[in-house]
Amino acid sequence: MNIAVTGGTGFVGSHLARHLAEDGHNVYILTRSPEKHQDTSQITHVGWLKDEHHPEKHLPKIDTIVNLAGESLNSGRWTEERKRSILDSRIQATEGVLDLIDQLPEKPQVLVNASAVGYYGRSKTKTFTEETTTPGNDFLANVVTEWEERASQAKNKGVRTVYVRFGIVLGEEGALPKMMIPYKLMVGGNVGSGEQWMSWIHVDDVAGLIDFAIHNSDLQGPVNGTAPNPSRNKDFGKTLGEVMNRPHWMTAPSFALKAALGEMSILLLDGQSVIPKKALAHGYTFKYPDLKPALQSIVQQ
């Protein structure tokens, strides 16, 4: 199968590309700077999203597009300019994918578009599944709603469309190394009240679930990309401390995080309990359904 991937040079995208290549697929990573990356026998970098790039002229018949492109949420304080950039990066990449679909001589069979559990808003008491159709009313929910609406235009082009709403992706990069820093310094503990939910997923299951979505033709619309056993922050931290053989004892107060991070503090202080009901119902088997083995596989490498 020929699979085009945007965002394929990042943490999740590179992991996915390796996974797909190991399964025998040909992967075409769409990037603004193909000259900066080394091709292999099964992974090819193709120029995209610049006027001089014409990816449709350099791609074979594409069976699947996976769109992972978008600016990181946690790389700086959420100023109004930064918030606009977070949204625009996702919308521009998705519009680029839609344009590419129009330009290809044959339409791909499926678009798997990244999304996020931020769609559901924040709650310490509710549990969310794909059957929850009313989004939250905060910044992240608004970003995800607009992102999915834009991607949904692929359906009008005859392309099966799946939005994988990812939680916190655990791996050797991303959020986990930052979470580990206080424990390495022996000051790990609850963030705020510790009662907020953390819906997480191991990066191996990110790749596995995207692969599953590609190959299951009856899967479409939103799919929650989270492990089936979310954890409250206090329990996540205790488990991380145990795996690292470090204490879990010091609380990072909410007021200090809000003062330091502003609105971005919701990434740490608020969350949601999200269950992957649709993935389980369709038969996906999680490699890491439980937190401790997931953390051990990463921390104790």
CA atoms of 53 and 125, how far apart (whole Å): 48
State the Cα angle at 261 between 260 and 262, rounded to 5°.
105
Per DSSP, the three-state class of 129 is coil
**Domains of the chain: total:** 1
Q: How confident is the model at residue 115 (pLDDT cuts 50, 70, 90)?
A: very high
pLDDT attached to residue 165? 98
- Give the pLDDT of residue 76: 79
User: pLDDT at residue 300 above 90?
Assistant: no
State the pTM of this model.
Answer: 0.96
CATH number at residue 84: 3.40.50.720
pLDDT of 71: 93
What mean pLDDT do residues 74-92 have? 92
Q: For residue 121, give its domain range.
A: 2-299
Alpha carbons 111 and 68: distance in angstroms, whole number: 11
DSSP readout, 112-157? EEEEEGGGG---SS-EE-TT--S--SSHHHHHHHHHHHHHGGGGGG
Q: How far apart are CA 259 and CA 256, in angstroms?
A: 5
Q: CA-to-CA distance for 58 and 293, rounded, in angstroms? A: 42
Predicted confidence (pLDDT) at residue 301 exceeds the cutoff of 80: no
Contact between residue 135 and residue 144 where contact means Cβ atoms under 8 Å apart: yes
